[in-house]
């Protein structure tokens, strides 16, 4: 089967799903699976200087720490934050309910296709989908219909609790809005990650690779790990995966901190701030510097990556 034929068949099946199937998962109720981050001040940013030239050594485009300075006192109101990054399962319910954008990866792995939709295919077609689309690591040529369906559904369920990736800033914003939420601001994200004691990493001040998914996926089959897989890496408030696994969109434009000396052509209203660091990459991307609570990264809001996701926030009553 050609690529275009596979894509056409997948699009047709997805259309059937959108128009006829009922979403399997309803949006989360208010504050379910969320953590209350208290109002108050914390120290945001960092002061260290890269006197040893490590940025150049590891191929960084800009000197380390410069856009994290000066460290400053930041006050945030109380807010709720998702305990975990938004999962494939949660985003799928949103996609189906709103006939919304399908992440690129789903078009290649059949994640959106429910058992009911797959059952429209005959056995020969199902075997083709199992091999070419689901890429099942088994001999499907001798499998009977129901067993094949079971294997395909089981494969899908293994993806349910992985963070959704391949979504733009706009997709993340729209998902949060549909839940009655919003993306966290950069300051909110940093406070939730480091607490009010200024810790270097969500769990403390000492680097520990065992506490996060880092370094080309840490051996996980899909690179990304299921949410909550690193309970020893939670933040002071109990928020999971704020370092590693997937980078996370925030609400803010990439702007200099108050009284900053560093100048960047990226400052302004063209780039959105990304926090947390992802699982992907080699070399300098596994360096602990990129997983600190103060580390800032910026991307065009239309970009998508296999290690870029998000979580949502919500205002708390004052």
| Strand pairing class (308-309; 247-253) | parallel
Beta carbons of 285 and 61 less than 8 angstroms apart: no
**Can you tell me the distance from the alpha carbon of 221 to that of 216, in angstroms, rounded to the nearest whole number?**
11
Residues 45 and 71 sit within 8 Å (Cβ to Cβ): yes
Q: Using CA atoms, how far apart are residues 281 and 261, in angstroms rounded to an integer?
A: 30
Cα–Cα distance for residue pair 30/238, rounded to 1 Å? 18
For β-strands 313-315 and 79-82, DSSP reports them as antiparallel
For the chain, report the end-to-end CA distance as a whole number of angstroms: 59
Give the predicted TM-score (pTM) of the model.
Answer: 0.86
Handedness of CA 222, 223, 227, 231 (dihedral sign): positive
Coil, helix or strand for 214? coil
Give Dmax (Cα) for the chain: 68
Helices (H), the chain: 3-20, 54-57, 88-98, 104-109, 115-118, 123-132, 145-157, 169-178, 186-194
- Strands 79-82, 34-37: pairing is antiparallel
Instruction: Give the other-Cβ count within 10 Å of 26's Cβ.
Output: 9
> pLDDT tens, position by position, for the chain (318 residues)?
333 444 444 444 444 444 433 334 434 445 779 999 999 999 999 987 776 777 777 777 778 899 999 999 999 999 999 999 999 999 999 999 999 999 988 988 889 888 888 889 999 999 888 888 888 888 888 899 999 998 988 888 999 999 999 999 999 999 999 999 999 999 999 999 999 999 999 999 999 999 999 876 567 888 899 999 999 999 999 999 999 999 999 999 999 999 999 999 999 999 999 999 998 754 445 588 889 999 999 999 999 999 999 999 999 987
CB 298 within 8 A of CB 247: no
Spatial distance between the Cα atoms of 110 and 136, rounded to a whole number of angstroms? 11
Query: 220-223: which pairs have CB atoms within 8 A and are 24 or more residues apart?
Result: 220/279, 222/159, 222/162, 223/279, 223/280, 223/306, 223/307
Q: What pairs with residue 44 in β-bridges?
A: 72
Structural domains of the chain in order of their starting residue, each with its CATH number: 34-89+163-315 (3.90.1580.10)
- At 2 the pLDDT is 39
Cβ pair 115, 149 in contact under 8 A = yes
Whether 87 contacts 48, CB under 8 Å:
no
pLDDT at 12: 41
Q: How far is CA 255 from CA 38, 271, 298, in A?
A: 25, 9, 10
């Amino acid at each position: 089967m050609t690529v275009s034929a596979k894509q056409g068949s997948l699009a047709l099946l997805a259309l059937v799903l959108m128009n006829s199937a009922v979403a399997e998962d309803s949006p989360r109720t208010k504050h379910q699976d969320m953590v209350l981050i208290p109002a108050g001040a914390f120290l945001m940013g960092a002061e260290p200087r890269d006197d040893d030239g490590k940025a150049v050594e590891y191929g960084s485009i800009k000197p380390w720490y410069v856009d994290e300075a000066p460290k400053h006192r930041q006050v945030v109101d109380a807010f709720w934050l998702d305990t975990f990054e938004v999962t494939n399962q949660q985003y799928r319910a949103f996609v189906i309910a709103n006939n919304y954008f399908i992440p690129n990866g789903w078009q290649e792995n059949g994640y959106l296709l429910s058992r009911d939709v797959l059952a429209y295919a005959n056995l020969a077609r199902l075997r083709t989908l199992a091999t070419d689309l689901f890429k099942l690591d088994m001999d499907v040529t001798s499998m009977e219909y129901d067993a094949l369906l079971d294997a395909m559904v089981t494969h899908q369920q293994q993806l349910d609790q992985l963070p959704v990736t391949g979504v733009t800033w706009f997709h993340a914003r729209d998902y949060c809005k549909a839940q009655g939420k919003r993306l966290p601001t950069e300051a909110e994200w940093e406070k939730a990650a480091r607490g009010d004691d200024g810790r270097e990493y969500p769990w403390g001040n000492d680097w520990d690779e065992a506490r996060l998914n880092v370094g080309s996926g840490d051996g996980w089959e899909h690179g990304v790990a299921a949410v909550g897989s690193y309970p020893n890496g939670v933040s002071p408030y109990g928020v999971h995966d704020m370092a590693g696994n997937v980078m996370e969109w925030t609400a803010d434009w990439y702007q200099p901190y108050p009284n900053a000396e560093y100048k960047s052509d990226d400052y302004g209203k063209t780039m959105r701030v990304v926090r947390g660091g992802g699982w992907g990459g080699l070399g300098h991307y596994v360096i602990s510097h990129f997983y600190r609570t103060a580390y800032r990264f910026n991307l065009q809001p239309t970009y998508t990556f296999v290690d870029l996701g998000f979580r949502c926030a919500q205002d708390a009553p004052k």
